[in-house]
């Protein structure tokens, strides 16, 4: 399925051009990938894609419904398929899901398609941001806080290993977007 077909998102050849490399945002649930991505899209004029929304559109269901009806493993397969499709595009700002870079295969494909930023938010801030969340299947459990902490401790080293750049991201999203932009401007004068 080709949701992005109508937009001019470039070819794989263009993706080799540093100016057309995708800008990829990863990190724990609630770290601001989507909000920062939208800000960056406004600042740069690049198209923004949220991978969870992309999968939801393709499947015609919410992430919660996919988990409930088909299970996490099925969702992870859809995620890898979405990674393959989106990595073919160039010049995108792409907000990944919180689990996307945990699969080695996804990570390899994504790093070839662009520059991967980790939005690094301290755990207490994430806990506060997510305390009333009703949309993320992994958090809908009575021991939410303990489960989140376990996942956070497990995942942070993997995010750090995957990322090209770690961005301190406890600040407001506009500030975080500006930090990324400054880094990109320094890298790609």
State in angstroms the smallest separation of the CB of 44 from ligand S3P.
Answer: 21
| Distance in angstroms between the alpha carbons of the first and the last residue of the chain | 36
Give the nearer residue to ligand S3P in terms of CB position, either 18 or 122: 122
CB 100 within 8 A of CB 28: no
76 versus 111: smaller Cβ distance to ligand S3P: 76
Sign of the four-CA dihedral 1, 5, 81, 73:
negative
Nearer to ligand S3P among residue 91 and residue 98 (C-beta): 98
The pair of structure tokens assigned to 185 is 């401007």
Nearer to ligand S3P, 72 or 187 (CB): 72
Q: Least distance in Å: CB of 88 to ligand S3P?
A: 20
| Residue 86 phi, psi dihedral angles, 5° rounding | -75, -30
Tokens of 12: 């794989």
Toward ligand S3P, which CB reaches closer, 47 or 137?
A: 137
Query: What is the closest distance, in whole angstroms, from the C-beta atom of residue 12 to ligand S3P in the complex?
Result: 25
- Cβ atoms within 10 Å, residue 25: 29
Residue found by looking up tokens 């990570």 in the block: 107
102's torsion region: left (phi>0), alpha (psi -120 to 50) or beta?
alpha
Taking alpha carbons only, the member of 130, 45, 126, 132 closest to residue 91 is: 45
Residue 139: CB minimum distance to ligand S3P, A: 8
Report, in Å, the least distance between residue 38 CB and ligand S3P.
13
Footprint on this chain of ligand S3P (rule: CB under 6 A): 29, 33, 52, 63, 97-99, 136-138
């Amino acid at each position: 399925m080709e949701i992005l077909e109508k937009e001019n998102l470039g070819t794989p050849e263009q993706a080799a051009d540093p100016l057309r490399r995708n800008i990829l945002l990863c990190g724990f649930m609630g770290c601001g990938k989507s909000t920062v991505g939208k800000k960056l899209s406004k600042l740069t004029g690049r198209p923004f894609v949220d991978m969870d929304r992309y999968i939801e559109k393709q499947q015609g269901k919410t992430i919660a419904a996919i988990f409930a009806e088909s299970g996490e493993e099925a969702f992870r397969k859809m995620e890898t398929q979405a990674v393959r499709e989106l990595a073919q595009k160039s010049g995108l700002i792409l907000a990944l899901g919180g689990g996307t870079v945990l699969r080695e295969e996804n990570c390899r494909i994504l790093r070839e398609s662009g520059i991967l930023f980790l939005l690094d938010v301290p755990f207490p801030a994430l806990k506060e941001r997510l305390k009333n969340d009703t949309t993320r299947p992994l958090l809908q459990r009575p021991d939410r806080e303990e489960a989140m902490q376990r996942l956070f401790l497990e995942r942070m080293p993997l995010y750090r290993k995957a990322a090209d750049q770690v961005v301190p991201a406890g600040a407001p999203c506009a500030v975080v977007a500006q930090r990324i932009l400054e880094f990109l401007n320094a890298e790609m004068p």
